[in-house]
Structure 1
Amino acid sequence: MSNKLINSMGLSQSISHIFAARNILTAKDALSMTEFDLMMLLDVDLDDVRSAVMQISRVVSPPRQTALQLIEDRGRSDHSLGYLPTMLKGLDETLQGMPFGCLTELVGPAGIGKTQFCLKLSLIAALPASAGGLNGHVVYIDTESKFSSRRLIEIGENSFPHIFRVKGMAKEMAGKIYVIHPTTADELIESLQQIKLSLLQHEVKLVVIDSIAALTLRETETNKIGYKQQTLGCPVSYLKSLAELSQVPIVVTNQVRSTRTDDSSFRYTFEGKKFDRPLRKV
């Protein structure tokens, strides 16, 4: 909207001609200057300048919305965009799947199956549409070297035997999943920027980051928690905006870590916050 031409904003013909004569052609040109500078440049009264600026601002400004309207609009948008099914009946009945255009975080302790779940999601996104998939490519960002191509094929053979029995299908599915191994948050951002065009062109139908917190763990072992939050905040914000822009599901995993303390309690740390819970004998 900032590039909208001034002569199409409903100003009087005389003031439009004055703007054009001074090479102020777009809303951005006019609104980048103070009212006083415009008055001196255009050689018109301050009241005329203020009236013109108000009209230009009114035309290019987005309509005002209440918080309730934003919530309702987001709900309609999410429903229309759809979901990537997990093909787990109970989970799909409850959540419908992984929503398009959103950042979804999977949180749990080590060994609970987060990586296995992400491998299956990757296969579903790569499956043909006739089999309930998205028939697309997947970017799998593996920060802890947990990705296993052998396990990927095993999950495919067990979950989708009718697909993986077809000769060459396992190789085709595996070929649609690109694995990246960034070691820092900066490398993650760089990798995402490299695939941004593929996301916008809808060639990539799913992005997985397993796990998001591991990127900063090594860098912040000797630093305070606040530094970790600051370091992690940048890629998380970028991921959220990228999901909304590309309208593909982005799934990240995070791990709940616990350490035993001297006061006989477990201390759970998640996203920089610590929670104490007394031990219970079982």
Structure 2
Amino acid sequence: AEEEAMPYSLVEKLQDAGINAADLKKLKDAGFNTSQSIVFAMRKDLLSIKGLSDQKVDKIIEAARKTTDAGFVTCTQLVQKQKSRFALSTGATKLDQMLGGGVESCAITEFFGEFRCGKTQLCHSLAVMAQLPPNMGGANGKVVYIDTEGTFRPERLRQIAESKGVSAEAAMENIVYARCYTSEHLVQLLLEAASLMVSDDDRFALVIVDSIMGVFRVDYSGRGELSERQQPRTRDEQVAEDERGVQRGRRPHQPGDGRSGR
């Protein structure tokens, strides 16, 4: 079969535009692994990288823009691009119907609800479903699972995998897991995830953050800090989604959710 085109361009390709290897290493060390991540970044973030001057940053941005499709396209081109999108089944027929077929690729899907209504269970199910072939509602891909509350249970994954006729050992091997403790740690983990997804030969299909608001709620507790906590969350998620073209499943805390009372 014809190899699927990558939805991103590695920063190494910027060498063709005259960006030297030393500057590319600085970009990668700062978490910029693709041209898309550079185009989507604020200029001030690039200037904060030690050793990159105003002139170098301008040259890097210009080179990155030439290797991406972040500008205008025709509606015909957009329709063609969207044909590659697909829906990942949740494993629950009625929920799939509510979502229009399942969790959409290249998009963020957010689940919320009362304490103990099954949000983490759904995350575990999606982590297995993503590995199944398309004819079984899956996406033939690996999964990134970021756990902010310590609710991830490998034994539950094993049960779900076995119920789907999948090797439990293989299913767990295809999930890369990280325990997250603060909002800054979450941002760093998302950067590491982006680096992993573009450097790994295998395809990643899904990123799960359970729960997305847990660490932000703790680090930015007052109402006066609401805007401050929303900005990094929204920006970093959108960049990760657009850069790699994977699905992102997350669950926030609903007000009155019990504040992680597990």
3-state secondary structure, aligned to 2:95: helix
Relative to structure 1, is the Cα distance of residues 149 and 76 closer, same or farther in structure 2, using a 3 angstrom cutoff? same
Q: Is 2:142 the counterpart of 1:144?
A: no
Q: Is the 8 A contact 1:100 1:249 kept in 2?
A: yes
The match for 1:234 is 232
Higher relative contact order (CA 8 A, sep 6+): 2
Q: Is the 8 A contact 2:88 2:137 kept in 1?
A: no
The match for 2:87 is 83
Q: Is the 8 A contact 2:157 2:168 kept in 1?
A: no
Please, which of 112, 129, 147 is the counterpart of residue 124 of structure 1? 129
Runs of 4+ deviating beyond 6 Å: 72-76
How many pairs does the alignment contain? 192
Q: Is the 8 A contact 1:103 1:249 kept in 2?
A: yes
The match for 2:208 is 208
3-state secondary structure, aligned to 1:208: strand
> Which letter does structure 1 place at the counterpart of 2:92?
L
For residues 4-46 of structure 1, give each alpha carbon's deviation from its aligned partner in whole angstroms, at most 9, with x where no partner exists: 9xxxxxxxxxxxxxxxxxxxxxxx88xx9xxxxxxxxxxxxxx
3-state secondary structure, aligned to 1:144: coil
For residues 216-250 of structure 1, give each alpha carbon's deviation from its aligned partner in whole angstroms, at most 9, with x where no partner exists: 222233xx213133123203221112112211101
Q: Distance in 1 between matches of 2:204 and 2:219?
A: 30
Q: Distance in 2 between matches of 1:64 and 1:125?
A: 30
Please, which of 129, 143, 153 is the counterpart of residue 158 of structure 2? 153
Q: Distance in 1 between matches of 2:182 and 2:78?
A: 32
Please, which of 186, 189, 198 is the counterpart of residue 188 of structure 1? 186
Q: Is the 8 A contact 1:198 1:204 kept in 2?
A: no
Percent identity of equivalent pairs = 24
How large is the Cα RMSD of the aligned pairs?
3.2
Q: Which has the higher strand share?
A: 1
Q: Distance in 2 between matches of 1:210 and 1:180?
A: 11
Relative to structure 1, is the Cα distance of residues 198 and 239 closer, same or farther in structure 2, using a 3 angstrom cutoff? same
5+ residue gaps, structure 1, are 5-27, 33-60, 260-282
Q: Distance in 2 between matches of 1:73 and 1:240?
A: 21
Please, which of 101, 115, 119 is the counterpart of residue 114 of structure 1? 119
3-state secondary structure, aligned to 1:180: strand
Q: Is the 8 A contact 1:153 1:170 kept in 2?
A: yes
Give, in angstroms, the shift of residue 139 of structure 1. 0.8
Larger radius of gyration: 1
Relative to structure 1, is the Cα distance of residues 207 and 64 closer, same or farther in structure 2, using a 3 angstrom cutoff? closer
Give, in angstroms, the shift of residue 131 of structure 1. 4.3
> Which letter does structure 2 place at the counterpart of 1:82?
F
3-state secondary structure, aligned to 2:144: strand
| TM-score, length of structure 1 as denominator length | 0.59
Q: Is the 8 A contact 1:213 1:232 kept in 2?
A: no
Relative to structure 1, is the Cα distance of residues 63 and 104 closer, same or farther in structure 2, using a 3 angstrom cutoff? closer
The match for 1:270 is none
The match for 1:47 is none
3-state secondary structure, aligned to 1:173: helix
The match for 1:250 is 248
Give, in angstroms, the shift of residue 254 of structure 1. 0.9
Relative to structure 1, is the Cα distance of residues 226 and 130 closer, same or farther in structure 2, using a 3 angstrom cutoff? same
Q: Is the 8 A contact 2:142 2:175 kept in 1?
A: yes
Q: Distance in 2 between matches of 1:112 and 1:83?
A: 23
Give, in angstroms, the shift of residue 127 of structure 1. 2.7
3-state secondary structure, aligned to 1:252: strand
Give, in angstroms, the shift of residue 91 of structure 1. 2.4
Q: Distance in 1 between matches of 2:73 and 2:78?
A: 15
